[in-house]
């Protein structure tokens, strides 16, 4: 019955700021999971439709927005519960920096969403021209709100093996968090950007090839077994109230529309 808890692994991909690469990382993770045979429910925090289009194309099924500005925590939880049913794993992409919200209390922030849904967070950090300082930033996020369950770190835009090695040692030593991936600097040709972020998929002639490129990056640079292990630490989902709809059957994988 839908009123009972459902155990669906879930993760939230967050960052320290906008433009850190979390969208491309999220696309790669989702596409790699689909390639492994998982049915993925993709979500985007906030009203963003551009990133949602990319996430939907990577998952082969619709991406739903979780907007804590327009909707109450109850409605956000219920939407997440409904849209996660029937899938093997849910992946949420956050927006802006982890704690960025409307006010000093962080209202509508990605961190607030992670708390409300009790979902483990993967922190994607842009490591450009930084080493030990990144451990200080990650440690600051851990202590800033201990109720936000940061469970792993993905290094982005690393300059090489030595850079990666120093970053791993610093973060794992000072933050006691696993570094589950390290991604180098990617070509802007695969994911062109404008002032609002990525170019929408209908305007990008090679969108499918770009998603394939993101999948290969995730498969080669991110420990997908670790991603799944972290996702499985999420608690069972319980719908708020008795107004959840009848349980849908597991939807078939939809082929991405022609772009």
Q: What is the pLDDT of residues 54-106, one digit of tens each?
A: 999 999 999 999 998 899 989 999 999 999 999 999 999 999 999 999 999 99
Q: What pLDDT was estimated at residue 62?
A: 95
pLDDT at 189: 55
3 state DSSP class of 146: coil
Return the SS3 of 29: helix
Mean of the pLDDT values across residues 34-39? 97
Q: Which residues contact 187 (CB under 8 A, 6 or more apart)?
A: none
Q: Are 111 and 148 in contact (CB under 8 A)?
A: yes
* The pLDDT of residue 258 is above 80: no
Give the pLDDT of residue 203: 47
Instruction: Report the alpha-carbon distance of residue 12 to residue 250 in Å, rounded.
Output: 22
Task: Please say whether the beta carbons of 30 and 58 come within 8 A.
Answer: yes
- Element (H or E) spanning 28, and its range? helix 22-35
**Mean pLDDT taken over the chain:** 86
Average pLDDT of the segment spanning 183-211: 63
Percent of the chain predicted with pLDDT > 70: 83
What average pLDDT does this structure show over 110-132? Answer: 96
pTM for the structure as a whole? 0.86
Phi, psi of 65 (to 5 degrees): -85, 140
**219 and 225 Cβ atoms separated by less than 8 Å:** no
At residue 7 the predicted structure's pLDDT band, cuts being 50, 70 and 90, is confident
What would the pLDDT profile of 137-172 be if each residue is shown by its tens digit?
A: 999 999 999 999 999 999 999 999 999 999 999 999
Phi-psi region of 108 (alpha: psi -120 to 50; beta: other; left: phi over 0): left
Q: What is the DSSP letter of 202?
A: G
Alpha-carbon span 68 to 46, nearest angstrom: 7
Contacts of 7 (CB under 8 A, 6+ apart): 236, 237
Write down the pLDDT at residue 252: 36
- As a whole number, mean pLDDT of residues 17-45 equals 96
The rounded distance, in Å, linking the Cα atoms of 46 and 23 is 13
244 — pLDDT class (breaks 50, 70, 90): very low
Could you tell me which CATH class the domain 10-193+205-231 is placed in?
Answer: alpha beta
Closest CA to 41 of 1, 67, 12: 12
Q: Which range has highest mean pLDDT (2-6, 163-167, 241-245)?
A: 163-167
Residues 164, 136: contact at Cβ < 8 Å? no
């Amino acid at each position: 019955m839908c009123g009972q808890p459902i155990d669906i692994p879930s993760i939230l991909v967050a960052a320290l700021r906008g433009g850190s690469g979390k969208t491309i990382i999220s696309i790669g993770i989702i596409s790699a999971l689909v390639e492994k045979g998982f049915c993925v429910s993709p979500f985007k925090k906030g009203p963003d439709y551009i990133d949602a289009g990319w996430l939907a194309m990577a998952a082969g099924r619709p991406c739903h927005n979780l907007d804590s500005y327009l909707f109450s925590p109850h409605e956000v939880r219920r939407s997440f519960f409904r849209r996660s049913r029937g899938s093997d794993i849910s992946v949420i992409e956050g927006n802006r920096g982890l704690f960025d919200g409307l006010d000093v209390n962080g209202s509508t922030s990605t961190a607030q969403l992670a708390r409300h849904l009790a979902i483990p967070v993967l922190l994607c950090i842009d490591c450009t021209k930084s080493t030990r300082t990144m451990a200080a930033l990650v440690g600051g996020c851990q202590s800033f709100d201990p109720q936000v369950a940061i469970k792993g770190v993905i290094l982005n835009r690393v300059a090489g093996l030595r850079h990666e090695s120093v970053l791993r040692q610093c973060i794992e030593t000072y933050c006691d968090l696993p570094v589950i991936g390290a991604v180098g600097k990617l070509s802007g040709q695969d994911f062109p950007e404008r002032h609002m972020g990525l170019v929408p998929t209908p305007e990008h002639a090679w969108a499918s090839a770009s998603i394939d490129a993101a999948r290969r990056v995730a498969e080669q640079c991110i420990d997908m077994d670790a991603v799944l292990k972290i996702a499985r630490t999420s608690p069972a989902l319980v719908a708020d109230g008795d107004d959840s709809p009848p349980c849908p059957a597991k939807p078939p994988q939809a082929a991405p529309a022609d772009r």
